[in-house]
Structure 1
Amino acid sequence: MFGFVSKCIQSCMGERTSRKTRLVTKDGRCNIEYGNIKYSNHLSFLADFWTTFVEIRWRFVLFLFIASFTLSWFIFGLLWYWISRSNGDLTWQNPAEDHTPCVDNVVGMTTAFLYSLETQTTIGYGGRALTPHCPGAVALLIIQSLLGAIINCFMCGVILSKISLPKKRAKTISFSDMAVISPKNGSLCLSIRVANLRKTLMIGSQIYGKLLRTTNTADGDTVIMDQVNIDFIVDAGKDNLFFVCPLTLYHMIDKSSPFFEMAVDTLHKQDFELVVFLDGTAESTSSACQVRTSFVPQEIMWGYNFLPIISRSKEGKYRVDFSNFSKVVPVATAHCPYCYHNIKGHHHHSRDGHDNQGFEVIEINDPPNFTKM
């Protein structure tokens, strides 16, 4: 019991450390903060107020929504109270029986606030109404109506923009929790699986990667977050993917690859982060979006391959089995890329990959009864 609890604590601490050292989290958020920004630069966020409003959190949007309407009702309520007081309409001013008020039935602060609310929301219960006796009241009615329309349009635009943000579409693009290294079409490849959970396509999809690592230059300088391009391909190419079903991305580990100097026993000792990007345009909304995820050395399994998840039924329909999306099988794989390219027959069944609970390794004894795609 104590051993299980200790293992869980160590696992949680390891995940927390991994999150702290990542630049990009598994769900695509960037783990970066800015410091020592000049005060004048903060004003640029106010100048670009529309983007600021769209990007702030929902809790602040809801607070601003409630505050903007409530505050405008209250301020105009004070103005209506002031107009009624100036005209002698209030109860405590004891108006004469033949007195003509600026607004009927506005006799105090509460009724002035209610009239302000009814005016700006165009409710009009009929109990309070403007009279033509006060020109200033007519002007205030016009100003409040225009300002209320502006607030309505602005807040509705912010809410609709936040709802339709492209990053919401990115939530339905899923990457595998781990990456694998195994032979593919005569080359040693690093593979990642990606799936589109919606039936609508991502038009013009492009996939690429960046390897982030700390390097030392010849001058002795340390370059933090040095970026190296990582090219990915699929069976149909690398650009304009037909992203209608889950795809497996392949990075060929050749002499030009930064993974060429790594081996099965040194991979998890490396310090790098592989960030994978998928750019595309949503077919239904025509909005461009980008999906990001990252892999650290402990999330790359050497000597494993993904289990096929696409099959074809007897009726001729194509079926995607997402229960196998995070399952792998061990395959014969060379100890290192140099051995694979230079020593023939240098393969072994590697089981040194880093396993986790969400990435299941299974054994296959009999070939499955389906047609591979």
Structure 2
Amino acid sequence: DMFHVFLHLHMLQLVLFFWLLYLASFLGFAGFWLLLSEPCNVGVHDFWEAFRFSIETQMNIGYGADDSFFNNCSEVAWVLPTQSLLGIVLDTFLLGMVFKRASRGSNRAKTIVFSDTAVLQVAGGCARLVFRVAEMSATPLLQARMEVYCVQHHEDEACPGGIRIEVATLSLEDLTADARTGVLFFGLPAQVSHRIDSSSPLAPPPPRGAVGLDPPHDPKPEAVRRHLRRSPYMEVVVLVSGTEDASASNVEARHSYTLDDIFWDRMFVPCVYVDRKGRHCVDFESLHDTVPASWGQVAEVDRRISSGLPRGELNNEPAFW
């Protein structure tokens, strides 16, 4: 519909459109007022006087007519309310556009921050894909939910171009969410984890002849690493949606991780601490920082960072591909 077409225009295009719309209205009714000037005693003598009179009528900024009753002319009884109502409609349309653009969810979605990189960690003999997401606004989203999808390319001669595109969902674990409703708690940054087991879209395919065997074995971390390294294309798409409380508008933030954004055998540094007053504080600069998993416990990470390790050395290792 036309409303949403105009709503998605660039702001400069929208301003130009309304400027031309108002100008066309002023010019059109200026012609009517010029025609009615003599019989209805409007008091305009040329087109530019009629143009200014048209602006005064539509914008309600005061009259300069010699006869405020227009010589009891019946034509004015139609032209005057028509232009006034048209001005109200244009003003309403303009204000509605400005309000919708100012309150739409894309602006609010900028306060949802995702870690720049994701990591593949090895825990319990199984690989896990881990990333972070946080809310920078003091007022978190209402009914926030998260969905994660994986887009992969597979070589398949039966498909056009020899590439088969697969889109699959990734199940999440250890997520700060209500197990019954799936609603996220965004009071603190959430560390999202996906376990790469035998049913994961990121797992390598089973060996030939092993299909149908029960139960399937979870892939070894090195097998996952080799499989993803040989993958022609893989992208993890993260969607966070919720409701903004002030305007009740729907908000959706998106982020994606490609193979170049995923690091092998690393861990995120702590980004939440408690100050002297007992308040939880979030260091958003540390939200993106990772260190080698060989550093071990959180205490060791804190010790190395506090010993003067430059921040630039935290993420100086390339992705494992």
User: TM-score, normalising length from structure 2?
Assistant: 0.78
Instruction: Show structure 1 runs of 4+ deviating over 6 A.
Output: none
Give the equivalent residue in structure 1 for 2:315: 361
Give the equivalent residue in structure 1 for 2:80: 141
- Structure 2 residues not aligned, in runs of 5+: 205-222, 296-310
Cα distance in 2 between the residues matched to 1:359 and 1:130: 78
Give the equivalent residue in structure 1 for 2:11: 58
Residue from 7, 25, 33 that aligns with 1:72: 25
Residue from 34, 54, 71 that aligns with 1:81: 34
**Where does 1:1-373 land on structure 2 (aligned, <5 Å)?**
48-84=1-37, 87=39, 102-104=41-43, 106-126=44-64, 130-133=68-71, 134-184=73-123, 187-216=126-155, 219=158, 222=162, 224-237=164-177, 239-261=182-204, 263-264=224-225, 267-270=228-231, 271-332=233-294, 360-361=314-315
- 1:174/1:197 contact within 8 Å kept: yes
- 2:122/2:128 contact within 8 Å kept: yes
> Which digits, 9 at most, give the CA deviation of each residue in 1:280-299, with x for residues without a partner?
11233322221111111011
Cα distance in 1 between the residues matched to 2:16 and 2:252: 29
- 2:53/2:64 contact within 8 Å kept: no
Cα distance in 1 between the residues matched to 2:250 and 2:63: 46
Q: Sort the Cα spacing of 1:53 and 1:297 in 2 relative to 1 into closer, same or farther, 3 A.
A: same
Cα distance in 2 between the residues matched to 1:251 and 1:184: 12
> Which moved further from structure 2: 256-265 or 49-58?
256-265
Specify the SS of the correspondent of 1:120. helix
Cα distance in 1 between the residues matched to 2:230 and 2:314: 23
> Which digits, 9 at most, give the CA deviation of each residue in 1:256-275, with x for residues without a partner?
11222254456354212111
Instruction: Report the CA distance between 1:361 and its aligned residue.
Output: 2.5
Specify the SS of the correspondent of 2:83. helix
Give the equivalent residue in structure 2 for 1:347: none
Which amino acid counterpart does residue 127 of structure 2 have in structure 1? L
Cα distance in 1 between the residues matched to 2:191 and 2:312: 18
Specify the SS of the correspondent of 2:70. coil
Specify the SS of the correspondent of 1:240. coil
Cα distance in 2 between the residues matched to 1:214 and 1:265: 16
Cα distance in 2 between the residues matched to 1:224 and 1:75: 58
- 2:234/2:258 contact within 8 Å kept: yes
Cα distance in 1 between the residues matched to 2:32 and 2:202: 71
User: TM-score, normalising length from structure 1?
Assistant: 0.68
Instruction: Report the CA distance between 1:188 and its aligned residue.
Output: 2.5
Q: Sort the Cα spacing of 1:232 and 1:141 in 2 relative to 1 into closer, same or farther, 3 A.
A: same
- 2:120/2:263 contact within 8 Å kept: yes
Amino-acid identity (%): 27
Which amino acid counterpart does residue 228 of structure 2 have in structure 1? L
Q: Sort the Cα spacing of 1:358 and 1:252 in 2 relative to 1 into closer, same or farther, 3 A.
A: farther
- 1:115/1:128 contact within 8 Å kept: no
Cα distance in 2 between the residues matched to 1:166 and 1:128: 51
Cα distance in 2 between the residues matched to 1:252 and 1:285: 37
RMSD: 2.6
